[in-house]
Amino acid sequence: MSEPVKAHKHVVFQYNGDDKNRDVEIDILGDLPDYLVGEIVVRKGKSWKVVQVILEHSTVSSGRVPVHR
């Protein structure tokens, strides 16, 4: 896996391209890695291949928070 980036972010995992089949992990400590296309991620008891990474920014009262999809 790639090196973790120490910054608060939200990571949205979407499975099989289904917008209704996803989960969000809030990375308060900044210890989740920035996933790269081609990496294998273990979630929901299965191995998933990262096929796309989208970086967005969400504005909240405390400032901008990166959202990784």
Q: What is the DSSP string of the chain?
A: -PPB--S-EEEEEE-TT-TTSEEEEEESSS-SB---TT-EEEETTEEEE-----EEEEEETTEEEEEE-
Confidence (pTM): 0.65
Provide the residue-wise pLDDT of the chain in tens; the chain has 69 residues: 555 445 678 888 888 877 788 888 888 888 888 889 999 999 889 999 999 888 877 666 566 667 766
